[in-house]
Amino acid sequence: MNGARVHPQSIALIPILARSACQGESDCVWTSLLAALILATPAPAASSQAPITVLVAPPDAAGAPSHVIEFAQEHVATQLESRGMVVIRVEDVTRKLPASKRRALLRCNRTEPSCIQSLGAAGKAEVVLVAELGQFLSGYRTGARMYLARDGSLITEHLIPGVREDQLLDALTQSLEVVVPRTRTALRGPPPMPPMKDVPPPGVTPPPRPPPTATTPPQVVTPVEQPPAPEAHPLRRWAWLPAAGGVALAGVGTLFYLQAGDKYDELDKGGTDVPISDPDDVASSGRRAQTLSRVAFGLAGVGLVTGAVMYLLPGDAPPKVQPSAAVVPGGGMVGLSGTWP
């Protein structure tokens, strides 16, 4: 009967029940079998996914401030409850104990199995969680360890070194995300597989669904506006004329400048070799050459600037010439039409 064990007293009751319920020989046989089946049916077993009771023990927090320890303990308890565990806080357990036993329970070494067994027995929990908040020069070593309360053996642990104080709660959450599934698998087994979808029998192919018809809205074509073409200036092709004139005037100005310099040197020497017959005429000639050089230089600059401005203006539009051909009686005709440059 499925390997179930029936108590001897229950077996002894089968004939009595059969004789009291049967009215004939065949009824007695069927009644005896029915009573045996009822008694041999095992009682329903406890659910393998029942919540796990966990005692949150005092943490290993060497050098950590008291406010950090309080925040960490409450955070760990809240995270365990959100993951479906029944949380037992150690302060709720030790509040009911005598002072001597409370002191011994809180000060025991939480790495020894005997201490874990005592904590688990006092809290009536399946597992005992010990958080670690060790402070080092490189930061906190943060994590969680899960122990089996029955024998104090370590189930799993997850520690993160070098954690800053403002990251303690996040590091504890990360450790709990690792140790809680491992603990649940160790105590309750792997989670049940999701139910498989109904598969049609072989040879029966479900009719394919018609593809959805997508309605595409009509596309509105908007004309692209071409940027206006720059206005053509025919002066660009003649930009070399003022530039050439400017260069020529610059040469004339240089010539007059040299003449004015010669007249100045002649007056400066004062006729040491050959006496000057008319100094006023020499000075007048030098001033005239200097004036002409300045005028020539000014006109040369104007010519060069004018040529540069004419060259920077937009050029002529490209010529649009289209060939054409026609056949007439007795011959043909070929021509070009369009705008010539």
Identify the pLDDT of residue 4: 42
Identify the pLDDT of residue 220: 61
Pair 73, 37: CB distance under 8 Å? no
**pLDDT by residue for the chain (341 residues), tens digit each?**
444 444 444 445 445 544 554 555 555 555 555 555 554 554 444 455 689 999 999 998 888 888 888 889 999 999 999 999 999 998 888 888 888 888 888 888 888 999 999 898 988 999 999 999 888 888 899 999 999 999 999 999 999 999 998 998 999 999 999 999 999 999 988 877 767 665 556 665 667 777 777 666 666 666 666 666 555 556 677 777 778 888 888 888 898 888 888 877 777 776 566 667 677 777 788 888 888 888 888 888 888 888 787 777 766 555 555 656 555 555 555 555 555 45
Separation of alpha carbons 52 and 72, rounded Å: 21
Architecture of domain 53-187: 3-Layer(aba) Sandwich (3.40)
For residue 206, the SS3 value is: coil
Q: Is 283 exposed, middle or buried (0-12, 13-18, 19+ CB in 10 A)?
A: middle
Pair 151, 175: CB distance under 8 Å? no
Query: Which amino acid is it at 50?
Result: A
> What is the pTM for the complete model shown?
0.45
Identify the pLDDT of residue 243: 80
Give the chain's largest Cα–Cα span.
179
